[in-house]
Amino acid sequence: MDENRPQWVEPSQDNESRLAIDLLPGERKHSRLWVFVHGFVSHRRGEKALFFREQLQARGEAFASLDLAGHGDSDGDLFGLTMSRNLSDLDRGLRFAQKELGPFSSINLVGSSMGGFAAIWYSALNPGMIKKNLLIAPAFEMAGRLILSLGPSKAERWRKERKIHLEAEFATFDLGYEFVEDESHYLIPDLVKRLQTPTLILHGSNDESVPCQLSRSFAARVDLAELVEIEGGDHRLTDHKDRLFKEMWKFAGPPEWLF
């Protein structure tokens, strides 16, 4: 298999996009699967994803990395982005990985920023399916914070016109207002009540995109959540990849085959 070419999760419904996914089999039967979920306007082969893949391959673990719709090599666009769509994409990617490489002894989700929020909600909505959440600067309250950053007049225009043109560091795009409306289904108090999966949050203290205080507040409310604050770290934390992986590996615990 050409490792530079993705495999494809084909749509089964009209509202689904063709998704690109990379799969790395484990060395042992019934190994653990680690699934990386990227952030907003990122992709499955970012610097952290490739580093984690390398580390996990050296330890014989299975690894999958998925491009969400509208990102990377996957079909779709950012205009239709919602958390519900992300969760559907993640579910499709997981089922594809299980079909191609499984069964697995357990599944860990590694989510970065927007992908971190998708990962933790996926585990909350599918209790017992995910063994551990390993989250890097999860984008809590993403739509709400975007609305506040726009100011009242731009936010109201977005609501009326149903779309807004945005310029991010690596992309220029239109975003539909459904992104905001959909977030009402994924409120933090509901997540606090639902979450049953042990969760590690890694967050930089100097994060200017997603304030670390959001992770501090969440971890303080959830017994199953542990926060490791990376002093001086920014949002991406690419300069702290070694620390991130060491913390995640420790939190995940030894592979089941050791017992």
The rounded distance, in Å, linking the Cα atoms of 204 and 240 is: 9
Task: Choose the CATH number for 7-252 among 3.10.20.70, 3.30.360.10, 3.40.50.970, 3.40.50.1820.
Answer: 3.40.50.1820
Pair of tokens at residue 63? 């690894």
Residue 30 pLDDT = 86
Q: Rounded mean pLDDT of the chain?
A: 95
Question: Residue ranges of the chain with pLDDT lower than 70?
Answer: 1-3, 257-259
The rounded distance, in Å, linking the Cα atoms of 66 and 46 is: 11
Residue 1 pLDDT = 44
Domains of the chain, residue spans: 7-252
Three-state secondary-structure class, residue 226? strand
Residues 91-117 pLDDT 10s: 999 999 999 999 999 999 999 999 999
Residues 1-31 pLDDT 10s: 456 789 999 999 999 999 999 999 999 888 9
Residue 29 pLDDT = 84
